């Protein structure tokens, strides 16, 4: 498994532009899983898992790493091609093409739905603490300034978390950290009206 897979093709991005496929990719660790094992981990029907695995496999995001015969049935085991998947900057910057823009928006929606699901799951288990949630609004920024802020946060995160991927350290638990710079369309329309 490589460290990073850079997606450069629109079809690759479409393949991961589904919240369920993001969840499948996040279910993997270092060990390969079969569709049956993923079905048990995610609590979803085997057929549904198979469908999404075929899409990820076809896009080259998952790879078949092993086949075992169990009770006369061939069980296939998969792994993501890389530990981390990133989008090529040239695709992100080519937002003038409406198909690219639509696919990137769908990808962003999928990630947001995944984040939302994680948040609600944590809230239902009384695990959301106010100290972990911050909302900053009413900042008037250019697109470049918003990108700069997100980039700085990502750099700081890498700096703080460097070498801290060991799940066996004392008192650690997995966190999903999300940073969004979202235009306030409703407020923008109101300002333009006034």
Q: Give the rounded distance of the alpha carbon of 44 from its chain centre.
A: 19
- Is residue 77 within 8 A of residue 66, CB to CB? The reply is yes
Could you tell me the two tokens for 182?
Answer: 């979202």
Distance CA 47, CA 49 (A): 5
pLDDT value for 139: 85
CATH number for the 1-127 domain, one of 3.40.50.620, 2.40.30.10, 1.10.10.10, 3.50.50.60? Answer: 1.10.10.10
Domain boundaries, the chain: 1-127, 135-165+173-194
Say if residues 64 and 76 touch (Cβ distance below 8 Å).
Answer: yes
Percentage of the chain surpassing pLDDT 70? Answer: 95
Q: In this structure, are residues 105 and 25 in contact, taking their beta carbons and an 8 Å threshold?
A: no
Which range among 72-81, 101-110, 166-175, 178-187 has the greatest average pLDDT? Answer: 72-81
Q: CA-CA distances (angstroms) from residue 28 to 12, 60, 80, 106?
A: 19, 16, 8, 23
Name the packing angle between helices 46-58 and 19-27 (round to 10°): 90
pLDDT of 180 higher than 70: yes
Render pLDDT for 62-120 as a digit per residue (tens, 0 to 9): 999 999 998 888 999 999 999 888 877 777 666 566 777 777 787 788 778 878 888 88
Q: What is the pLDDT of residues 31-67, one digit of tens each?
A: 999 999 999 999 899 999 999 999 999 999 999 999 9
pLDDT at 154 over 90: no
Dist CA 135 CA 18 (whole Å): 26
Q: Is the pLDDT of residue 124 over 60?
A: yes
Q: pLDDT at position 34, please?
A: 94
Q: For the CA atoms of the chain, what is the radius of gyration?
A: 19
pLDDT at 62: 95
């Amino acid at each position: 498994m490589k460290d990073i897979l850079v997606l450069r093709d629109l079809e690759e991005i479409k393949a991961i532009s589904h919240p369920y496929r993001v969840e499948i990719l996040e279910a993997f660790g270092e060990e390969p899983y079969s569709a049956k094992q993923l079905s048990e981990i995610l609590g979803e029907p085997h057929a549904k898992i198979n469908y999404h695995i075929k899409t990820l496999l076809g896009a080259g995001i998952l790879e078949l790493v092993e086949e075992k015969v169990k009770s006369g049935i061939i069980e296939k085991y998969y792994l993501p091609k890389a530990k981390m998947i990133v989008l090529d900057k040239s695709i992100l910057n080519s937002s003038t093409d409406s198909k690219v823009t639509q696919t990137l928006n769908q990808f962003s929606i999928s990630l947001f739905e995944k984040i939302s699901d994680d948040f609600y799951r944590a809230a239902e288990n009384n695990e959301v603490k106010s100290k972990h949630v911050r909302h900053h609004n009413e900042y008037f920024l250019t697109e470049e300034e918003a990108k700069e802020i997100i980039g700085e946060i990502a750099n700081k995160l890498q700096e703080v978390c460097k070498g801290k991927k060991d799940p066996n350290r004392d008192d650690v638990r997995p966190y999903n950290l999300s940073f969004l710079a979202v235009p306030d369309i409703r407020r923008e329309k109101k300002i333009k009206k006034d």
